[in-house]
Structure 1
């Protein structure tokens, strides 16, 4: 590695975690140029390499014994010892990448930082991100060029069971919210714990009183808004309070069945995918059947087909129900994403930005009973669909990071040689 490349990596590390120093481990330390630069910055450096010649060169360069000949799996390093671990072009040479990343996680302190560089050829960023999440990392950021991927991530403390944050936006749902929360608080999840975050938007039908009955219930957090700003605003505020590994958004109208939780959470919990959509599509195209408003049901179902076609065309997907309320995803998927929508167009913004970030949603069938407008449906038939169309178009073009491009491009990485 050249000194110029080493400085680039240190600059990326500094931007990610500030001026934090401490103990730094270089896995695949090579000729020691990176460790030398890191030492000059104030890090207490150590190194590993499988080449005895590289280890000797490193120790000679630094003038002391800082490196030894070993793999990280065989080095016998103490757990939770290092603040930073840097792995340059190593993971592609390991037989078991997950075992390698797990060992890196073990030697890092809680909230310790991993900087990993790998060749771009054959490396799918989302696959690499999923591997990092599976092995205990969070807050994953990537910078890509034509020949390499630079990854930054933090080691998190693993829970014995994943925590699911269920976010429930509530506004004028007096008819259903108490029943929903009673059912939800009693629900036991398979292989996971849950917290419930209820965001009540100053209803005028008694819903706030219904919600406050659950104040003090274990696992329930109540957030009160001064005024209603829309579902998107409520969900965004709920996200700010969520502590879970997995996020699930639950409307308060009982159109969806809580018994479907396990089936929509399971693929995310077991790392089969990062994003799940609970699909209401039964194959006959009739998602909404209003017994007393059949014409309106026809309009809604026809609109669903048209809008789904538009979304799939713009985002190169083959989804049946991108408009579903049931969206389940790993909380780390939201890292560095910026959201702005306040109404139902937030559902479009959320899904569009998750897809733009590289995630492919998995659709899982769920049960659904649509309520009519007489029963309290809140969608504005004339104005809301236009906001969805605009959101589809806007977020296909605008950066999902709000100007903070986490997946940076080759130009943003600078004209530095890609020298391992």
Structure 2
């Protein structure tokens, strides 16, 4: 009777991963060969079983398989005498190989890892060949499976391909998808010759087929899982993975060194580069072309209010009559009126300016706005307080204001049709002229 993995670690079957890890460390400290000098051989064997138990139970897939077949694994070869000899190697026989106790070391000796499993899978292959001509209702075709090899068999090709079956990878790939061609007739529950009639015979055949399919599926799963169990512990796979990792690291280092060399060469070329004469000529041409572009830009029509350029006078004139331009011009006027203290305007002029800003949307042009504002200023001045005998001077002052307003309007019209004049300075100049026109 074999020892249960859970009993080896001293945990329950519902133990968590942390509990398994703590139990493994505790048992390892007890049974480590270095701490058992009086019983080295016994401690070595026990420690190997403890480590195997932890490897199986710490892997979720292997633990699930072990829990599902725990009784069969522990039973081992106890029921060999009660089975049919025509069955060959059965699922119960294979269960005993899910343990490192079946071999002694990873070597080519008679009890070594490679010899034990090579003989086992060769036996399975011979049984499949013996049943290849057996009629089967499922019509499963026979497949030749590669040998397990020995410690010198390469895991995969590195220099040249030697053909299918020459590598350990081919073995695991084939047996990992194993499907038996055995008939599994020994699993039948009924003898068809004992059927009293055809109806009962059909029922017997149905139950027998169900039993065969169940046995075949279990047998196939056992062989596949055994191949997975061996692959995980195969030293040839570990050596191949280490070699592949070294090769990848070397390739990455070589790639990094090559990039560094190319970078240094490029920097050296940049440092030793000398500009040619034809390149200098192109630079001069580029400067001339940029100057021409600037002249072209300066020759375009520019709107100070909207901060835009226009290619023709017609476009510029159409833009002046647009609603957006009028709205922006009005906003600029209101902004300038808010800064009246910088221009030293009077309180009365502030009132007239605000009235002008509120009614400017209803006027058709800037000249009409200025004339309307001048008339309003005259009316408001007439409604003012007593003049105390200075009528002639006030009349003269009003005429001077009218002339100044007309001159400012003319100056504004000329200024806005100039071609050169742009930027923030142009905006302040126009604002100043508008302010003079409203005074």
TM-score normalised to structure 1 length: 0.20
Greater relative contact order (CA < 8 Å, ≥ 6 in sequence): 1
| TM-score normalised according to structure 2 size | 0.19
- Which structure shows the bigger proportion of residues in strand conformation? 1
In proportion to residue count, which structure has more helix?
Answer: 2
